[in-house]
Amino acid sequence: MFEYAPAPESRAIVNFQKSYGHFIGGKFTKPANTFQTISPATEEVLAEISEGSAKDVDQAVKAARSAYEKTWSKISGSERGKYLYRIARIIQERSRELAVAETLNNGKPIKETRDVDLPLVASWFFYYAGWADKLDYAGLGPNPKAHGVAAQIIPWNFPLMMLAWKIAPALAAGNTVVLKPAETTSLTALLFAEICQQAELPEGVVNIVTGHGATGAALVGHPDVNKVAFTGSTDVGRLIAKQVAGTNKKVTLELGGKAANIVFDDAPLDQAIEGIINGIFFNQGHVCCAGSRLLVQESIQDELLKKLKKRMETLRLGDPLDKNTDIGAINSKAQLDKISKLVKQGQKEGGEVWAPNCPIPKNGFWYAPTIITGVSPTNTVAREEIFGPVLSVMTFRTPAEAVAKANNTPFGLSAGIWTEKGSRILKLADQLNAGVIWANTFNQFDPTSPFGGFKESGYGREGGRHGLLAYLKAGN
C-alpha cells in the first residue's frame, strides 16, 4: 500500500487584515463590535469582523440608493458590462489567493475551491457581463428596468459562489446591492470588496455589511430596499417571506433540499458510484442540491453497496489545504452538532450506520463520510436536510415506486437519474418534482442554466436568462 505524501497548498498568498469593518460607499468603515472568524479545520482565529447594526445597514442602503440614482442607472448597459468583465478578470487573476482564503475560512478542500468554486465564480461574472447590454432580449420586452436596491443574504457553504450568483445578475440588470455574507465565512466577501475598489466600480454600487441573523433581518426589513434575495435554511426563508409580506419588495428564496439520486439496475455502476460519491461528499455534503437520498433498485443493492463502501474507504479526510484531500472540515461546531444529532436519530429509528475507518484530526470540526442503510421514507434521516457527509439509502422495485419515493418530501430542488435508457430518463424527469434533474451525472453547475426549487425549496430561479428576470421588471 502506497501512502500519499502531504501536498499542502501555500497560504502565503493570502494576507488577511487583523480586523475588518463594513464596505459602504466604496470604503471600509472602522471595525466596530467585532467578533472572531476562524478556520474550522484548526479553530485558529483568522481575523475579526464587525457585527453590523441597524445603523450600518441604513448607511449601506443609503449608499446603494445614491449610487443607483447618481451613477448605476444613468450609465449604459455596455458600460455596466465593462465593469463586470473587469471584475471577472480580476477574480481570475486573484483566483489562487481567493481559493486559499475560501478554504481557510470555510474548511472545504482546496481541490474544490481551486477547480470548482473559483472557475464558476469567474464564469458567473463573465456570463452576466455579456447580458448587461442585451436586456431587451431578456424576455420582458423593450427597455426593462432594474428594481433599484437589492438586499442579498447568503450562506456559508459556497461563500464566493453565492456572492457571484447574487451580485453578477443584479449589477448586470442595473440594480445596486447590499450583501450580507454568512457570519462564519465573510472573509472572501471582504476580499471581493477590495476587488470592487480595484475595478474602480463606482462607489456604493456594491456594499457589504457583515454580521449575524439580526443584521440580515435589519437589511430585509429596511424600507428602502426593493428586492430581497436569500439563500439559506427553509426556517429563515419562512421568516423572510413573513417579513416582506404586504410590502412591494420582490423576493427570491433558494432554500433546502433532500434530493433523490435514483440508480436503476441497468446503470453503468462504476460511473454511478462516482456520481453518488460526488453527490453527497462534495463540499462535505453542505450542498442544498446534494444527492442525500440514494434510491437504488433492489436487485443491485448488495453489489452497489459493496462497491460504494470500497470507494468510500479511499476518501481522504483532513487538512483542506492539502491538494489530495477529498473531505474537509465541517464549517462550524453548530453544524457538526446538527449532523451528529440527526445521525443518532437515524440510528434510533432503525437505520444501520456505516463509515470507513478514517482518522479524525484533533482540532477543528470533522465528520467521517457516512451511509445509513435500512432507511424507510418516514424516518427523520429520509425527510430532514442533514447538510453533511451522510447518505440515506433506500430501495425501490419499479420506476413508479422510485418516483413516488423521490417525490415524497417537502423539498423539490434537485434529483439524479442513473440508467442506460434515454427514454426512461425523459419519462422520469417529467414525473420528478425537482427544479434541476441530472442524468448519469450530478452536481453540474453552469451560469447559462437556471437553478432553483419547488415547494419548500423556495421560489425564483438563479442562473441563465431566468436568473436575470429576478432583477428586472417590464419597462414602460
Residues tagged active-site: 254, 288
Closer to ligand NAI by CB, 26 or 256: give it.
Answer: 256
- The answer to whether 228 contacts ligand NAI (rule: CB under 6 A) is no
Contact between residue 211 and residue 220 where contact means Cβ atoms under 8 Å apart = no
C-alpha dist (Å) from residue 142 to 69, 129, 257, 468, 470: 21, 19, 36, 15, 16
- Residue 280 CA, chain-centre distance (Å), reads 14
Spatial separation of the C-alpha atoms in residues 367 and 149, rounded to whole Å: 40
What are the phi and psi torsion angles at 35 (to 5°)? Answer: -135, 160
- Please, how many CA atoms are within 13 Å of residue 199, restricted to the half-sphere of its CB? 28
Query: DSSP readout, 254-270?
Result: E-----EEEE-TTS-HH
**Closest residue (Cβ) to ligand NAI?**
216
Closer to ligand NAI by CB, 262 or 288: give it.
Answer: 288
- The answer to whether 100 contacts ligand NAI (rule: CB under 6 A) is no
Task: Name the pairing type of β-strands 145-146 and 472-473.
Answer: antiparallel
Q: Which of 183, 326, 456, 462 binds ligand NAI (CB under 6 A)?
A: 183
- Please, how many CA atoms are within 13 Å of residue 198, restricted to the half-sphere of its CB? 15
Work out the end-to-end distance of the chain between its first and last CA atoms, rounded to an integer number of angstroms.
Answer: 70
Site string for ligand NAI, 411-450 (x = CB under 6 A): ----------------------------------------
Closer to ligand NAI by CB, 50 or 395: give it.
Answer: 50
- Quick one: which of 168, 115, 179, 181 has its CA closest to 331? 181
- Please, how many CA atoms are within 13 Å of residue 468, restricted to the half-sphere of its CB? 27
Closer to ligand NAI by CB, 155 or 320: give it.
Answer: 155
The piece of 154-162, 263-271, 310-318, 344-352 that touches ligand NAI (CB under 6 A) is 154-162
Q: Which of 24, 41, 190, 217 binds ligand NAI (CB under 6 A)?
A: 217
- The answer to whether 80 contacts ligand NAI (rule: CB under 6 A) is no
DSSP 322: B
- The answer to whether 229 contacts ligand NAI (rule: CB under 6 A) is no
Query: Residue 256 Cβ, how far from ligand NAI at the closest point, in Å?
Result: 5
Site string for ligand NAI, 369-388 (x = CB under 6 A): ----------------x-x-
The piece of 40-48, 176-184, 274-282, 353-361 that touches ligand NAI (CB under 6 A) is 176-184
Q: Which of 21, 52, 148, 216 binds ligand NAI (CB under 6 A)?
A: 216
- The answer to whether 283 contacts ligand NAI (rule: CB under 6 A) is no
- The answer to whether 213 contacts ligand NAI (rule: CB under 6 A) is yes
- Quick one: which of 28, 7, 11 has its CA closest to 19? 28
Site string for ligand NAI, 232-261 (x = CB under 6 A): xx--x--xx--------------xx-----
- The answer to whether 210 contacts ligand NAI (rule: CB under 6 A) is no
- The answer to whether 151 contacts ligand NAI (rule: CB under 6 A) is no
Place of cell 475560501: 102
Spatial separation of the C-alpha atoms in residues 2 and 360, rounded to whole Å: 20
Residues in contact with ligand NAI, counted by CB under 6 A, come to a total of 26
Contact between residue 289 and residue 274 where contact means Cβ atoms under 8 Å apart = no
The piece of 31-39, 111-119, 152-160, 262-270 that touches ligand NAI (CB under 6 A) is 152-160
How large is the C-alpha radius of gyration of the chain? 22
Q: Which of 11, 212, 323, 333 binds ligand NAI (CB under 6 A)?
A: 212
- The answer to whether 21 contacts ligand NAI (rule: CB under 6 A) is no
Buried b (16+ CB within 10 A) or exposed e, 27-46: ebbebeebeebbbbbbeeeb
Q: Which of 24, 98, 153, 206 binds ligand NAI (CB under 6 A)?
A: 153
Closer to ligand NAI by CB, 173 or 189: give it.
Answer: 189
The neighbouring-strand residues paired with 52 are: none
Q: Which of 182, 187, 225, 436 binds ligand NAI (CB under 6 A)?
A: 182
- Please, how many CA atoms are within 13 Å of residue 9, restricted to the half-sphere of its CB? 25
Contact between residue 104 and residue 39 where contact means Cβ atoms under 8 Å apart = yes
- Residue 423 CA, chain-centre distance (Å), reads 31
Closer to ligand NAI by CB, 64 or 288: give it.
Answer: 288
Which amino acid, one-letter code, is at 20?
Answer: Y
The piece of 125-133, 230-238, 319-327, 434-442 that touches ligand NAI (CB under 6 A) is 230-238
Residues forming the site for ligand NAI (CB under 6 A): 153-157, 180, 182-183, 212-213, 216-217, 220, 231-233, 236, 239-240, 255-256, 288, 335, 338, 385, 387
